[in-house]
Amino acid sequence: MSRPVTLFTGQWADLPFETVCKKAKSFGYDGLEIACWGDHFEVNKADEAYCRKKNEILSKYGLKVFAIANHLAGQAVCDRIDERHKSILPDYVWGDGDSEGVRQRAAHEIIRTAEAAKRLGVNIVTGFTGSSIWPLLYSFPAVPQAMIDKGYEDFAFRWIPILDKYHQLGIRFALEAHPTEIAFDIASARRTLKAIKDHPAFGFNFDPSHFGYQGVDYVKFIYTFAEKIFHVHMKDAGWSKVPTEAGVFGGHTEFGTPGRFWDFRSLGHGNIDFEQIIRTLNRINYKGPLSVEWEDGGMDREFGAKEACEFVRKVDFPSSNIAFDAAFEKK
């Protein structure tokens, strides 16, 4: 049986929730990964009645919800806070903008997200963690290893209490390993798990689009963290085979600018090998949803979302339960 195909609503938060449900159904999706911004899912309002109403709207369009996503509040838990965070956070999380206060309120919001997820009837929250050491990525002036150690200690200090609460609630947090997060490739993901002593409530939302252009082996990521792949994003990226004006770091250009080394692409229009990903997910027995996070600055999003759903259904195939040459054997 093929896995459910869902649409992540984060890039559609300018539209009312019911409108997105109606569109997702018309595009052919089985359900949603609901973003905790716009009016799609408001954590501070998510009591029993609110969650019941969301499920009624989903049911009206024959959709299911498999995860909710709170990348924006999660980002602020460990980050060095600046004016950029004000634009992505709810006013009650930003408050007076005092950095430590913002981090603490963001942590509380992530715990409330788990409580709301339980009321909604889902057991996965996807999101970001932020990172106090991302600005130290390029080691000049030279970065002593002790500074990096402190960054992982800070992550553990802030996230273990959150994850303990998740574990108590029966909810799992799936970090979308991603530049600017505490884990952004295989090496940093290993160190992340070590920092929190392989906490049972913490795993990954696998998204190959953030690995390919970096030169990270995204198939090896699946094998390496097989037991920790809690959720999967289907998102493509394209990168150049020849030198460009703006390299892997982007040259301070906007997405879609000509001359960039890489950019996000609608599914099937980039360089990611999705067949190999599906084969690998089959080998680790991943049975969760394949959630389309649609991003492509050069394509109409409704055309792209529909095409992406069709692409995932075409590329997703069940694993075999027999050896292909078994029929050759004499009985």
The pLDDT value recorded for residue 106 is 98
The pLDDT value recorded for residue 323 is 57
**Domains in the chain: boundaries:** 5-237+267-320
pLDDT digits (tens, 9 = 90+) for 44-58: 999 999 999 999 999
The pLDDT value recorded for residue 2 is 81
Cis bond before residue 141 (omega within 30° of 0)? yes
The pLDDT value recorded for residue 324 is 55
CA-closest candidate to residue 193, choices 219, 168, 229: 229
How far, rounded to the nearest angstrom, does the alpha carbon of residue 141 sit from its chain's CA centroid? 32
Rounded to an integer, what distance in angstroms lies between the CA atom of residue 81 and that of residue 302? 34
- Model pTM? 0.96
CA-closest candidate to residue 269, choices 225, 290, 239: 239
The pLDDT value recorded for residue 318 is 86
Low pLDDT (below 70) residues in the chain: 1, 322-331
Contact 308, 294 (CB under 8 A): yes
Instruction: Give the relative orientation of helices 17-27 and 301-315 as an angle to the nearest 10 degrees.
Output: 50
Cα distances (Å, whole numbers) of residue 162 to 56, 95, 190, 200, 330? 30, 20, 20, 12, 58
CA-closest candidate to residue 298, choices 263, 253, 325, 262: 263
Longest dimension (CA), the chain: 77
CATH code of 5-237+267-320, in short, is 3.20.20.150
Q: Is 178 helix (H, G, I), strand (E, B) or coil?
A: coil
The pLDDT value recorded for residue 319 is 82
The pLDDT value recorded for residue 262 is 98
